[in-house]
């Protein structure tokens, strides 16, 4: 069984030509990679899209939190009855 309680791991991403790092648990990182592959987007492009959405929020969360929330919302939408 995979360790879902593994602590966050710091990883580098590039948003609009700017390198930054995010700390995400491996479970969320794997989900993010899967979402990027499903959308046929480079991982950095999906992160940039999530970043642009979070900046529009009234009280923008940090990038790692925004990624977790985006993944949860995508999962909920996929499980919602059609």
- What does the pLDDT look like over 9-65, one tens digit per residue? 999 999 989 999 999 999 999 999 999 999 999 999 999 999 999 999 999 999 999
Q: 10 Å Cβ neighbour count for 70?
A: 21
Q: What is the pLDDT of residue 13?
A: 96
The residue ranges of every structural domain in the chain are 9-79
- What does the pLDDT look like over 20-29, one tens digit per residue? 999 999 999 9
Q: Which helix (H) or strand (E) holds 2?
A: none
Question: Is residue 1 over pLDDT 60?
Answer: no
- First CA to last CA across the chain, in angstroms? 32
Q: Does residue 12 contact residue 29 with C-beta atoms inside 8 Å?
A: no
CA distances from 24 to 8, 32, 40, 80 (A): 5, 10, 21, 26
pTM of the predicted model as reported, rounded to 2 decimal places: 0.92
């Amino acid at each position: 069984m995979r360790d879902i309680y593994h602590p966050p791991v710091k990883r580098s991403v590039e948003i609009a030509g700017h390198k930054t790092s995010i700390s995400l648990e491996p479970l969320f990182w794997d989900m993010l990679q899967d979402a990027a592959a499903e959308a046929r987007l480079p991982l950095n492009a999906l992160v940039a899209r999530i970043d642009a959405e979070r900046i529009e929020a009234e009280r923008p969360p940090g990038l790692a939190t925004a990624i977790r929330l985006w993944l949860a919302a995508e999962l909920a939408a996929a499980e919602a009855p059609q």
